[in-house]
């Protein structure tokens, strides 16, 4: 008898009949959390995630005073049972600990990517291909206009920006999200011998990264004295004008975001912007969907229709996941 294995219910992805939710925002009985960004986490009764994601969640959410949930750390590529389901995590390459999930029942499988970056990053585990029959995939940059240059090229351009600013005796200030983007640029710069200072919010996340095996030498929190002449500052965009930044006398600012491809409206007030992304671009999303071998793809979050249309042109049955939809694990 065909049983619907996944249904989207009030914006909440879940595996029907199992009590397993995917990246649920409200408290649920049992959730797989793909990674620790704010729009993917919540306090749940039971949380399945990698050890690094669980550590980053504890940092972001704090220890609950009442009803602490149960953390179920899972390793990538180590299948385990949950009721009649078999679960297996695959690295997603997005931020430290990020993972995709494959759920198998009766020999048929559904894969869920969470946020995905197929190009190797400097501070996250490289993404792995997750073979599956049905794929539910993120579509953040799922439009053909999002074609990022190779990461090495982007990082080189950022480095040139930093060198130019330092040569002009101006502090280079790089704007990147506190979890993921900041550590990627810090890892790259500190490994190349640059001395970096960070907003305290970034420093707190760095400590979790370091505890989970990502060394960030040459990185210190910003103090009231401000950075020295040869130091680079990394700060989340919304804190660029915060109290902690007061000690910087002359600055030159660059935004690090995939949206830089869209031009100036995304980085108003910055001197430069570089398309350094922790998401796959359009071409990489299409290539990834093909690599999984999935005969059926559902797109979620972002440019769902352009991505689905591109996959249909590749001969894959693809469509945006509807508000409420039940998927049958039939042969595609």
Binding site for Zn ion (CB under 5 A): 37, 115
d(CA 20, CA 201) in angstroms, rounded, equals 32
Output the smallest distance, CB 40 to Zn ion, in A. 6
Nearer to Zn ion, 115 or 231 (CB): 115
Nearer to Zn ion, 115 or 184 (CB): 115
Output the smallest distance, CB 177 to Zn ion, in A. 9
Output the smallest distance, CB 52 to Zn ion, in A. 14
Nearest 5°: the CA angle 299, 301, 302 is 100
Output the smallest distance, CB 94 to Zn ion, in A. 6
Q: Which residue has the tokens 């595996």?
A: 15
Nearest 5°: the CA angle 307, 121, 190 is 150
Output the smallest distance, CB 194 to Zn ion, in A. 26
Nearer to Zn ion, 194 or 288 (CB): 288
Q: Which residue has the tokens 């695959």?
A: 90
Residues in contact with 93: Cβ distance below 8 Å, sequence separation at least 6, in sequence order:
116, 117, 118, 119, 120, 121, 124, 125, 126, 127
Q: Which stretches of 134-252 are DSSP H helices?
A: 151-167, 181-191, 200-211
d(CA 322, CA 301) in angstroms, rounded, equals 11
Positive or negative: CA dihedral 28, 139, 129, 258: negative
Nearer to Zn ion, 89 or 222 (CB): 89
d(CA 248, CA 228) in angstroms, rounded, equals 9
**Core vs surface per residue 57-96: b (16+ CB within 10 A) or e:** beebeeeeeeeebebeebebeeeeebeebebbbbbbbbbb
Output the smallest distance, CB 58 to Zn ion, in A. 17
């Amino acid at each position: 008898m065909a049983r619907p294995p996944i249904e989207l219910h009030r914006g909440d992805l879940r595996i029907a009949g199992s009590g397993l939710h995917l990246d649920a925002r409200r408290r649920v009985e049992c959730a797989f959390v793909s990674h620790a960004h704010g729009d993917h986490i919540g306090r749940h009764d039971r949380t399945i995630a990698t050890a690094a994601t669980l550590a980053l969640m504890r940092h972001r959410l704090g220890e609950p005073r009442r009803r602490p949930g149960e953390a179920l750390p899972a390793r990538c590529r180590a299948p385990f049972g949950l009721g009649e389901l078999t679960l297996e995590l695959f690295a997603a390459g997005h931020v430290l600990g990020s993972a995709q999930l494959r759920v198998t029942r009766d020999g048929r499988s559904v894969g869920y990517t969470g946020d995905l970056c197929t190009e190797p990053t400097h501070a996250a585990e490289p993404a792995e291909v997750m073979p599956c029959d049905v794929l539910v995939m993120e579509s953040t940059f799922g439009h053909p206009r999002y074609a990022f240059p190779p990461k090495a090229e982007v990082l080189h351009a950022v480095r040139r920006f930093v060198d130019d600013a330092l040569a002009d005796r101006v502090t280079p200030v790089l704007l990147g999200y506190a979890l993921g983007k900041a550590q990627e640029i810090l890892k790259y710069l500190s490994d190349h011998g640059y001395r970096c200072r960070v907003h305290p919010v970034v420093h707190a996340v760095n400590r979790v990264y370091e505890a989970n095996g990502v060394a960030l030498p040459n990185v210190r929190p910003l103090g009231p004295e401000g950075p020295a002449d040869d130091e680079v500052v990394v700060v989340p965009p919304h804190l660029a004008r915060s109290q902690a930044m007061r000690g910087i006398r002359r600055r030159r600012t660059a935004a690090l975001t995939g949206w830089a491809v869209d031009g100036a409206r995304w980085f108003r007030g910055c001197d430069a912007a570089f398309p350094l992304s922790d998401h796959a671009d359009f071409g990489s999303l299409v290539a990834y969907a093909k690599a999984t071998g999935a005969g059926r793809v559902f797109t979620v979050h972002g440019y769902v229709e352009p991505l689905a249309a591109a996959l249909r042109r590749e001969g894959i049955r693809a469509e945006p996941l509807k508000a409420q939809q039940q998927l049958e694990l039939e042969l595609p």
